[in-house]
Chain A
């Protein structure tokens, strides 16, 4: 088990009192970010995000399924995160623990609630056949701030996803029921096409220790963190998702400061995201 010596904690606190961080970053500064798309051929979409030494690979798979009865003409998305033992001496094999579940759900909310994926364009036969989008987040190196690395890689993967008509076509053509509707859908969409997406909100995560709040926590900072706050903002500087974690607390003033820093950094991260998927900003 990784144990943070008390001395390390004291040292980080002392630095923070002098407005410094161990790696000389400003309190609201991110580490170097690398974002690469199309890294897994088998996946319909994929991306690798590296923030500092933290590395996350997200793969998108799509398949045909049945819609939920209350939303019969909408596609379905699910998000799963795996903290695989590869990534840290403290990650154990086994069913996802709470941290993995929280991570997946926070990334999921940022995408689902902002309706980033245009799920009403993912219907093939109303009430019967829709597209399912599986977002699988694979943490492969843990060095602090999984939330933002996971979120960025998921968005980059989604924005480069192609709906796999060609792979699924043979199966669809074999269907005995709804031949007309399926036929029409395949006629309208004869080849693989980009997953219909809207502009996504960008998430930024901060942690608090000893009354100091820093953004994009390093591993050491995360280990002594008392509270954590993730804020997702969109291009209009509006807030789309938030999550506070750990058992410490924030003052309302701190929350407002974090929101402002998230908006500012959100802009920078959005630029990196758009560059990596080959779109122009805005």
Chain B
């Protein structure tokens, strides 16, 4: 196993010089020098110096799939909490149903959960989301857990490798929102296993060989596998 070191950096830490590198995500430039602006993991393999955040609220990005919880049904839209600094707006034009003016409550109400996609983020960070895409709908049944949004990429894995593994061995349906909310549905034991596994990934997100390790553990407990 190759021992690369995952280096943790903190705000104001000097990472490089613009003479040799470009300032990427999580960094800022001052007097020709590149510094980290957040607590995160250093990634300077390419021509860019990036810092991947270890903590922090979800930063809404267009095209992200997320899980939202409806705050309020307004006249021709809904206000939705998406675990970001701001709530998002879901307009009646962005849902698969034919909603009459003032009838929004009939479709989605306070406390309902939805799988949605971020449509747009403007300069003032006003957010719009949509349900008009495959597999987006109002969630029924199952349960939702919260994780650190910064751990989501690890939970999904390269090209979905980690999450596919978990789905395969637990036979559960899982939807991972980029905003740190994960929906799980299946039999009690399967759901429990999923939650345990995700907890483990969160704790050890910086370790190497995690995917193999998780696969071993899941294999041990699974009864049969397709």
Contacts and interface: CB of A to CB of B under 8 A. Distances in A.
User: Is chain B in direct contact with chain A in the complex (CB below 8 A)?
Assistant: yes
Interface of A: 3-11
Given A4-B111, A8-B144, 17 more contacts: A3-B81, A5-B69, A5-B111, A5-B112, A5-B144, A6-B111, A6-B112, A6-B113, A7-B139, A7-B140, A7-B142, A7-B143, A7-B183, A8-B143, A9-B111, A11-B142, A11-B143
Interface in B98-138: 110-113
Contacts of B32: none
B106 to A, nearest CB: 15
B111 A3 contact: yes
Nearest to B140: A7
A279 B144 CA distance: 45
A3 B69 contact: yes
Nearest to B69: A5
Interface in B129-175: 139-144
Nearest to A22: B143
| Interface hub of B69, B140, B183 (most chain A Cβ within 10 A) | B69
B71 interface: yes
A220 B111 CA distance: 14
Given A3-B69, A3-B71, A10 B141 contact: yes
Nearest to B184: A11
Contacts of B69: 3, 5
19 contacts: A3-B69, A3-B71, A3-B81, A3-B110, A3-B111, A4-B111, A5-B69, A5-B144, A6-B111, A6-B112, A6-B113, A7-B113, A7-B139, A7-B140, A7-B141, A7-B144, A7-B183, A11-B142, A11-B143
Contacts of A3: 69, 71, 81, 110-111
A4 B143 CA distance: 12
Interface string B34-71: 00000000000000000000000000000000000101
Nearest to A9: B111
Nearest to A15: B188
A150 to B, nearest CB: 26
Contacts of B142: 7, 11
Nearest to A24: B192
